[in-house]
Amino acid sequence: MRFSGLRVLKEGLTGNRGWTPHWRDPDPNSDYDVVIIGGGGHGLSTAYYLARDHGITNVAVLEKGYLGGGNVGRNTTIVRANYFLPGNSEFYSHSLKLWEGLEEDLNYNVMHSQRGLINLFHSDGQRDAFARRGNAMLAQGDDAVLLGRDELRPMLPYLNFDDLRFPIYGGLYHPRGGTARHDAVAWGYARGADRRGVDLIQNCEVTGIDIEGGAVKGVQTTRGAIRAKKVAMVVAGRSSQVAALAGMRLPIESHVLQAYVTEGLKPCIDHVVSFGMGHFYISQSDKGGLVFGGDLDFYASYAARGNLPGVEQVMEAGMALMPMIGKARVLRSWGGIMDMSPDGSPIIDKTHVDGLFVNCGWNYGGFKAVPGSGNVLAHLIATGTHHQNATGFRLDRFRTGRGIIDEEGKGSQHNLH
């Protein structure tokens, strides 16, 4: 069934009885050409692009819970292409272009809203760094405008410009940045993959990876053994645990990232605003809630839930930046497990096992990568070669030290990226 205005009208007039489920609920077959472990954003988009771009449809996505129940449904929905370093910048630029055609492509409203993103700066040195970043973005073909304090004030009148510790000097404006409805992205890709014949298998945890003679042969699951010619591990915060099933030790640490939403308010925040010095960022959802977050929990953990020290840090930063936020009531907070890599950049690569692929290391920025990541991983699985916009995300850069993409210049410290 295709979605259209006419269809909505017809269903509205006939009691909404014609809608069908977005995807089937099949039992797993005994073998597939490709098995994707993980039904998050990246796993689902990989399946979609395998079918759409490469005609590979004998594919199963195995999800231990329900589709979109992981980080793809827990993030703060920011989509941007404002990276500085080669390796990252062409990849995120590629991903943003896919976002821009996504709704037509999927025939699904993912509520992609290019409302603009502003990164604030608070010193001359920080302004210089953002000017360089903006120039790199322009050189990449993306958009960036360096705004001074007087240009920023009418755009963001609710900010405390004269905070003694962090006076606002200006901001780097990225007009094509914005947000998208996170779970709709998972549902849209799931529906698109299902319509092309991909089997989406929920409540199916992968418990083992079968390897014979150095090549992958399939997986063991809670719903039985499944043979496969190729297997991709696309499990975000669970990457180390799943890779261990293939005898691999990944350079990944898992940390909790929390986020918060307030009661619905009238529109008051038109952009996405990032206050890097205070580790705070905010946007307003279409329902009116102020959606905001801060820094990681600094210790490694698989607990996908919030805690009070995180609340204190984020609320303090929010109050420093925009004291008006103190009047809003916080409704909910939550946490997700971030797969932090040593240089803050992802891994999309083959492994030492023939036919086994790995996609991980998204840190806290993998939502905006969902289209790009699936697109380039599908290319790697189908052709055996790296996509031209994702040649730098090699696993062995952490063994050799060559090709490290340390966007923040933080060094090899997972929780600082």
Ligand X SMILES: Cc1cc2nc3c(=O)[nH]c(=O)nc-3n(C[C@H](O)[C@H](O)[C@H](O)COP(=O)(O)OP(=O)(O)OC[C@H]3O[C@@H](n4cnc5c(N)ncnc54)[C@H](O)[C@@H]3O)c2cc1C
Residues that bind ligand X (CB under 6 A): 37-43, 62-65, 69-72, 74-78, 205-206, 234-238, 242, 257-259, 293, 336, 362, 364-368
Q: How far is the CB of 374 from ligand X (least distance, A)?
A: 9
User: Which residue lies nearer to ligand X by CB, 169 or 343?
Assistant: 343
Q: How far is the CB of 349 from ligand X (least distance, A)?
A: 16
Q: How far is the CB of 297 from ligand X (least distance, A)?
A: 11
User: Which residue lies nearer to ligand X by CB, 98 or 169?
Assistant: 98
User: Which residue lies nearer to ligand X by CB, 35 or 156?
Assistant: 35
Q: How far is the CB of 413 from ligand X (least distance, A)?
A: 19
How far is residue 108's CA from residue 285's CA, in Å, rounded to a whole number? 18
**List of residues 6+ apart from 209 with CB closer than 8 A:** 216, 219, 220, 231, 242, 245, 246, 353, 356
How far is residue 130's CA from residue 82's CA, in Å, rounded to a whole number? 10
User: Which residue lies nearer to ligand X by CB, 336 or 342?
Assistant: 336
**List of residues 6+ apart from 163 with CB closer than 8 A:** 320, 321
How far is residue 150's CA from residue 167's CA, in Å, rounded to a whole number? 13
Q: Tokens 């204190």 map to which residue? A: 312
Other beta carbons within 10 Å of 222: 11
Nearest to 35 by CA among 178, 219, 204: 219
User: Which residue lies nearer to ligand X by CB, 169 or 209?
Assistant: 209
User: Which residue lies nearer to ligand X by CB, 72 or 269?
Assistant: 72
Ramachandran class of 355: left when φ > 0, alpha when ψ lies in -120 to 50, beta otherwise: left
**Residue with the shortest CB distance to ligand X:** 40
Q: How far is the CB of 188 from ligand X (least distance, A)?
A: 13
Q: How far is the CB of 399 from ligand X (least distance, A)?
A: 23
